[in-house]
Structure 1
Amino acid sequence: MPRVLISDKLSPRAADIFRDRGIEVDVLVGMSPEELTAKIGDYDGLAIRSATKVVADVIAAADNLKVVGRAGIGVDNVDIAAATQRGIVVMNTPHGNSITTAEHAIAMMFALARQIPEADRSTQSGKWEKSRFMGVELTAKTLGVIGCGNIGAIVANRGQGLRMKVVAYDPFLSPERAEDLGVEKLELDELLARSDFVTLHVPMTEQTKGIIDAAAMAKMKPGARIINCARGGLVVEEDLKAALESGHVAGAALDVFAEEPARENALFGMDNVVATPHLGAATVEAQEKVALQVADQMSDYLLTGAVTNALNMPSLTAEEASRLRPYMLLSDGLGSFAGQLTRTGLKAVTIEYEGQVAGLNCRPLTQAILTGLLRPMLESVNMVNAPVVARERNIDVSEVKHERDCDFQTLIRVTVTTERGDRAVAGTLFGGHRPRLVEIKGIEIEAELAPHMLYISNEDKPGFIGALGMALGSAGVNIATFHLGRAERGGAAIALLELDAALDAAVIETLKALPGIRQVQQLSF
């Protein structure tokens, strides 16, 4: 039974979902980093919000951990690179709080435009400063949306409902998507120059860190206002303070800060700043939604292999996982076969998909092939970290899909390039679910993959099969199946044998000494 640890405050229904699906769950909220590090090795899954810091030390101690689930969108508190290296899936729930966060951004824009927090404090203190709080209308103003993903698109839609002119900057926003959203796509400098309100909805990356700095604010029209409900650090706070003091920026509404919890901040106490304590996702509906989503996603992965909203692995629905399972077995087997035969530096891998398999989600199959290929050379490689390991070792990976017809309904061919040249292995599914080898080094052969196998490359000469059988029989080795293939008469030939048990080193040396032998390799699957 898989075990999951919930280390942050989630809806109690999340734990119920785990239990209802047959997963053991412990709820231990408020642990210190040392306590988490001491306990994490006992769990297959870790469900968190923003409080738990899944740093490298925690991941290094997570001997059994398979998945980290973040109830929410931000994963700044997870070392994704370290998790990927360890083969741990990191997933979030990017859509669960999209509406809530977008609504908070709109609420902050209203509060900023009409100075509502300051007016509230003034009125409740017994003053009646009606002339002091002169606001601005939102109607007909230009709203600049930086980042037009899930949340940004909702903000754009709400802005249009307020009869605002909406412009957007997003390098990944296609013209067709911009047209569907009804926004005008601009470059960042033009957006800053034209916008009356600028709202940020991008993740924190090296490219977006400090995207609104002194230089960016200088390009904004005088009197513009900034809303940030995305990530602290997108706005350079000292630069914003200077722009607010000069009056070039009329106001700012901030839900996030560079350092959180923000007990102190250079912007606190300014009349033209509205601040909230990271409330973007803080509604009853959103918290319930993301908690249930992360519990379902983690359960699906631990029980069925389905991958949803993962940040370091391609998504795979439960239906796809079931349908791809025989293809995954075939892919892993082909990769393992090629990897066990590779004895020199691996430079490149080319994976070809033909027939029915070409129309499927092939990314998980490619990762399964890489996993099988690298497993004989490396420890702790799996589908999550295999692509990263390949990149780190400068192994070029190519994926090709062929529309052409082939001899089989489906065919996967793996070609590895080493210092000595190329070699390929191909396989198919018999009956739609039974993996079969059908080609090795261009030689046609048909064989199942078995726990104990013997691969032999030899010269095609009379008497070889008899000599091989005699050598194995003399050593007391029983042959379960025997498959033969050759390129041409008298040329290169291949023998692939299924054995009842693994051979000892002495038998391998005896076989290597047989006339006509080119290669002897024991294989296991």
Structure 2
Amino acid sequence: MLPTVVIADKLPEDIYGSLLDEAGISFADGTRGDLEALLADNCKGLIVRSKPQVTAELLSKAPYLLIIGRAGTGTDNIDLEAATARGIIVENTPSANTESAADHAMALIYALSRNILGADASVKRGEWERNRYLGTELSGKNLGIIGFGRVGRGVAVRGKSAGMNVLECDPFVDPKVAEELGCRTVGLDELLRASDYVSLHSSLSDENAGMIGKAEFEKMKPAARLINVARGELVDHDALYEVLVSRKIAGAALDTYDEEPYRGKLTELGDLVILTPHLGASTVEAQRRVAEQVTRQIISYIKEGRIENAVNVSIVAPEVKPFASLVERMGYAAGKLAQGPINSVELTCYGELAEVNVRGISTYGLVGLLTEKVNLVNIVNAREIAEGRGIEVSEGTSSAEVDYRSMVCLRVSQTNGEQIILNGMLYEKRGPRIVGFNGYDIEFKPEGTILVTYHEDKLGIVGYIGTTLAKHGINIDTTSLSNEAIEGRKVAVFRINPPASEDALAEIANKKIGIYDVRQITLAPPTSLL
């Protein structure tokens, strides 16, 4: 009996049908028949978009299911925990919609600049009001792009072709990426004040939810327009309503919302705002591209066991897997310590670890590095997110001798020329340890809240820090001090509980007695391992 793939959402049949036929795999249309019955009948693969809810109960009716392919990016409609528990791989297609999303953003910019929707409706009402719908040219105007990943860069190229001056703001992208496209990197405040059009293309995270609100709107020009085809939660819709009603900005165009379908009060504003029903990926080309990509991935796994774009599967060799948690913690620590945009990440393995296939281990470092900077980073999308921010990633091995059976070195380079270098190793019983930091030999456990200090190599420094922490009611669980001084300075790492207040940190950073830098970071446990 041939394996079967069930297509549970509307996709171009001429695409998936021909590919599956060629591979010797049968298919069934899950949009017409009894989905549960189809899943029970030798179904090895399931393809969905966003509508079908793939629940634990539904998966229990699919005893032969090996893989779920999401024709798109988000997997909110799939119970990943249930799929993982049943050994079912879940894959998505994260890059198929880039061109369509960039096109849609640019179409909204054009529509705003020439009042196209309002003028169209006016003519259809029997009116002929040319003066009312006087537009503006795009050439020479400033286009501000917040979030300079794949879609943001696509909009930049389109804006440049229209003669616009493009400004970009993305703290995780090397300014050289923008420079190569003829764009200028600026801070958020400057972008908001200077731009005639502000287009959002950021990933959503806890840190940037509501990033465009009342304070940001007040910085924008009265003639400015806002465009959002990224995530609805980036914009405070109540604040947007108020500035549109009061004419503090000239207009807005939205394709995404904090709740969908959107039924909010922006629908009452007529020509002041353009609202589209999440159409960024809704083009013939994008749908055909996503259908082809997801079908090829399903075939690759069923026929060859090859995994691509998996969202719930570890990708490293079994011998390397124990080091994944360590590398993620090292990446997380480096991300907390970095004080500027990052342009490269390099991971090198030494000792016994250098003798095995370490392919993919750097992905875990990227997960840690990007956690809290972008939403939903995992072992599947971490590399793509890094690439979208202009971060060069390399991994390899070295035959150089080290003091440990196996060691990994993570080197994170920032655009300001500074580097963060962490060495890590695993004790068989004691677990992961950082054993080197920026050239210093120092050992500490990468968990909890730690205080890192740079100070002169002289007596009394560690005592002063301990006394100050105690004064502020802070316990020291462990203390680690670098073995040797470098240029007369040492590093100390204190694992503390509870975290130190700003007042305590300011008191510790006493340059008069030789303490030159104090940094506090909380190292969360690894999130990507299953």
Q: Same fold (TM over 0.5)?
A: yes
User: What amino acid maps onto 2:266 in structure 1?
Assistant: L
| Residue 28 (str. 1) matches residue 30 (str. 2) | yes
d(CA) in 2 for partners of 1:255 and 1:241? Answer: 15
Change (3 A) 1:242 1:28: same
Classify 1:332/1:202 alpha carbon distance in 2 versus 1 (closer, same or farther; 3 Å): closer
Q: 1 CA distance for matches of 2:259 and 2:322?
A: 48
> CA offset at residue 220 of structure 1?
2.4
Given the superposition, is the C-alpha separation of residues 18 and 38 from structure 1 closer, same or farther in structure 2, using an over 3 Å criterion? closer
CA 1:242–1:175: 2 relative to 1, 3 Å: same
Name the CA distance, whole Å, in 2 between partners of 1:75 and 1:218.
36
Q: In 2, are the aligned partners of 1:40 and 1:58 still within 8 Å (CA)?
A: no
CA distance in 1, matches of 2:70, 2:135: 39
Q: Secondary structure at the match of 1:178?
A: helix
Does the residue aligned with 2:137 lie in a helix, a strand or coil?
Answer: coil
Give the C-alpha shift of residue 282 in structure 1: 1.9
Deviations 1:138-167 (A, max 9, x none): 111111112211111110111111111111
Seen in structure 2, the aligned counterparts of structure 1 residues 97 and 161 have a Cα distance that, compared at 3 Å, is same
* Conserved? CA contact 1:194–1:221, under 8 Å: yes
Aligned mates of 1:110, 1:227 — CA distance in 2:
11
CA displacement at 1:218 relative to structure 2: 2.6
Counterparts of 1:333 and 1:2 in 2: how far apart (Å)? 35
84 and 41 in structure 1: CA distance in 2 versus 1, 3 angstrom threshold:
farther
Post-superposition shift, 1:289? 1.1
Q: In the alignment, what sits opposite 2:428?
A: 417
2:46 is the alignment partner of 1:15: no
Pick closer, same or farther for the CA change 1:218–1:303 going to 2, 3 Å. farther
**Residue 132 (structure 1) shift:** 0.5
2:197–2:225 Cα contact (<8 Å) kept: yes
Q: Is the 8 A contact 2:39 2:65 kept in 1?
A: no
Report the Cα offset of residue 412 of structure 1.
12
Unaligned runs of 5+ in 2: 325-348, 365-378, 381-394, 409-424, 434-530
Compare CA radii of gyration and give the structure with the larger one. Answer: 1
Deviations 1:348-373 (A, max 9, x none): xx996555645x5143999xxxxxxx
On the 8 A contact 2:100/2:286 being kept in 1, the answer is yes
Q: 1:416 Cα deviation (Å)? A: 5.9
Partner SS state of residue 268, structure 2:
coil
Provide the C-alpha distance between the structure 1 equivalents of 2:432 and 2:167, rounded to a whole number of angstroms: 54
- Aligned match of 1:509: none
1:69 equivalent in alignment to 2:64 = no
Distance 1:177 1:250 in 2: 31
Q: In the TM superposition, what is the alpha-carbon distance from 1:245 to its structure 2 partner?
A: 0.5
Contact 1:331 1:412 in 2 (8 A): no
TM-score by length of 2: 0.58
How far apart are the structure 1 equivalents of 2:361 and 2:177?
25
The letter for the 1-side match of 2:399 is R
Aligned to 2:194: 194
Between the two proteins, the alignment pairs up a number of residues equal to 360
* Mapped contact 2:323–2:426 kept (Cα < 8 A): no
Q: How far, CA to CA, are the matches of 1:72 and 1:62 in structure 2? A: 22
2:415 alignment partner in structure 1: none
How many angstroms does 1:112 deviate by?
0.9
SS at match of 1:233: helix
In 2, Cα distance between equivalents of 1:283 and 1:88: 30
> 1: CA distance between counterparts of 2:426 and 2:204?
39
- What CA deviation, in whole Å up to 9, does each residue of 1:230-288 have, x standing for no partner? 233222222211111111121111122232233x3311131211122222222222211
Residue 168 of structure 1: how far off its partner (Å): 1.6
Paired with 1:303 and 1:364, the residues of 2 have a C-alpha distance of: 28
Whether the 8 Å CA contact 1:308–1:315 is kept in 2: the answer is no
Cα separation, partners in 2 of 1:332 and 1:110, compared to 1, 3 Å: closer
Task: Note the 1:333-344 alignment, pairs <5 A.
Answer: none
1:56 is displaced (CA, Å) by 5.8
Residue of structure 1 in register with 2:267 after alignment: 268
Q: Assess if the C-alpha contact under 8 Å between 1:3 and 1:42 holds in 2.
A: yes
Aligned to 2:224: 224
State the one-letter code of the partner of 2:70.
R
Q: Which amino acid in the other structure matches residue 265 of structure 1?
A: G
Change (3 A) 1:49 1:333: closer
After TM superposition, the structure 1 = structure 2 runs for residues 302-313 of structure 1, keeping only pairs within 5 Å, are 302-313=302-313
Structure 1 residue 181: deviation in Å? 2.8
Identical-residue share of aligned pairs (%): 38
